[in-house]
Structure 1
Amino acid sequence: MEKQPFDSRSAFQALLLDCFSKARLTLQCFDPDYAWWQLGHTQTDALLRRFLQHQGRLQLVAHSNAHLERHEPRFLTLLEDYGHQIECRLTSRSIRTLTDSFCVADGRHIVRRFHSDHFRGEANFDDPLSTQTSLERYEAIWAETLPGLKAGTTGL
C-alpha cells in the first residue's frame, strides 16, 4: 500500500487510531512523552482495551512518563487492568536526544512523525517492508531502556 502523508494533529491522531485498530498481536511505540497521542481518550482506551482483551502486547518507550502520569488517568487505569501485557520503558540518557515518534502494529502497519515537535509524517498499512527500519530502530532503542511506568506507580 502507498504512503499516506499527513501534516496535522487531527490527521496524525486519526491515523494512529487506525493503526491501533489494526493491531492484533503487538503495538510497539516510541515517543519522547506521548503528549499528543491521547492515550487516555475514550476512543483510544476502547481500542486498546479490545486489543489487550485479545491478548495483545503493548510496548511503550518514552524519555519521560510525566505526561502520562499527570494527564492520562484513563491510561493509568488501563495499565492497572492489563499491566501484565503492557510494558512502559524509559530511555537511558545516552539516547534522550531522539526526537521522532512512531507506532508499529504487528510489524505490518506504521504511523510515524519525523519529529515529535511537528505533525508532519506518514502512515503505511499492510506493508511490512515499510516498518522494517523502524522496527530495527525500536529494538536498538529498547536495548537502551530502563523500567518505567508500572501499574500503581505515580509521581516518580
Structure 2
Amino acid sequence: MDRHTFDTRAGFQARLDDCLSRARLSLALFDPDFGWWELGSIRNDVLLREFFRHGGRLQLVAHSNARLERDAPRFLRLLRDYGHLIECRITDRSLHHLTDSFCIGDGHHLLRRFHSDHFRGEVIFNAPSSTKLHLERFQSIWTETQPGLQASFTGL
C-alpha cells in the first residue's frame, strides 16, 4: 500500500493524475459538480484518451453536470468519441447532502477529498482492502441516480 496526503489544489491535481494514469479497467468518480477536477484540461484529456484506448470504462456521478457542460469542452469531446465507455449519472435530490469527492481506479486505487469545497485529502494506491468500502458506497450512490451527460444531450 502506498498512501499520500495533500492539501492544495496542485497536490490534488498531481494525485488525480497519478490515479488516472494507474487505472486500466475502470474509473468510478463522484463529486458534487467536478468543478475542481479539470476534466476538460489537456492533461486529463490525454490521460483519459489513453485509458479509453485500452477499453477502460468510466462511471461518473455528480449532483449537477452544469459545470462540466460549461467549462469542460474537451471532456464533452471525450464523451462524443468514447461514449460507449463513459456513463455519466446525476444523483437523486435525496443525495445532495453528500459533499465528499472521490475517484476509484480498478478497485485498487483511491483518491478522496474529505469535502468537495476543500483540497485536503488522501490517495491510496495498490490497496483493494482500503478501497472496498468506497467502492461499495459508490455502487449504492449509483443505484440512486438517473442518466446525466450524453453526447446527444449536449448537441454533439
What is the aligned partner in structure 1 of residue 71 from structure 2? 71
**Counterpart of 2:81 in 1: which secondary structure?**
helix
What are the superposed Cα offsets for residues 75-120 of structure 1, whole Å, 9 maximum, x if unpaired?
Answer: 0000000000000000001111100000000000010000000001
Q: Runs of at least 4 residues of structure 1 off by over 6 A?
A: none
Flag structure 2 segments of 5+ consecutive residues without an equivalent. Answer: none
Give the distance between the partners of 1:2 and 1:77, measured in 2 at CA: 33
Listed as ranges, the matches of 1:1-150 within 5 Å are 1-150=1-150
What are the superposed Cα offsets for residues 47-98 of structure 1, whole Å, 9 maximum, x if unpaired?
Answer: 0000001000000000000000001000000000000000000000111110
Q: Which amino acid aligns with 1:61?
A: V
Between the two proteins, the alignment pairs up a number of residues equal to 155
Give the distance between the partners of 2:65 and 2:74, measured in 1 at CA: 14
Give the distance between the partners of 1:107 and 1:115, measured in 2 at CA: 21
What's the TM-score once normalised by structure 1's chain length? 0.97
Structure 1 residue 130: Cα displacement: 1.3
**Counterpart of 2:84 in 1: which secondary structure?**
coil
Contact 2:2/2:126, CA 8 A, preserved across alignment: no
Contact 2:26/2:58, CA 8 A, preserved across alignment: yes
Give the distance between the partners of 1:154 and 1:83, measured in 2 at CA: 12
Structure 1 residue 2: Cα displacement: 4.0
Give the distance between the partners of 1:43 and 1:75, measured in 2 at CA: 11
Flag structure 1 segments of 5+ consecutive residues without an equivalent. Answer: none
Give the distance between the partners of 1:95 and 1:73, measured in 2 at CA: 27
Give the distance between the partners of 2:50 and 2:91, measured in 1 at CA: 28
| Alignment RMSD (CA, Å) | 1.0
Give the distance between the partners of 1:64 and 1:122, measured in 2 at CA: 24
What is the aligned partner in structure 2 of residue 153 from structure 1? 153
Q: Which amino acid aligns with 1:15?
A: R
Structure 1 residue 153: Cα displacement: 1.9
Structure 1 residue 154: Cα displacement: 2.6
Give the distance between the partners of 1:121 and 1:133, measured in 2 at CA: 16
**Counterpart of 1:33 in 2: which secondary structure?**
coil
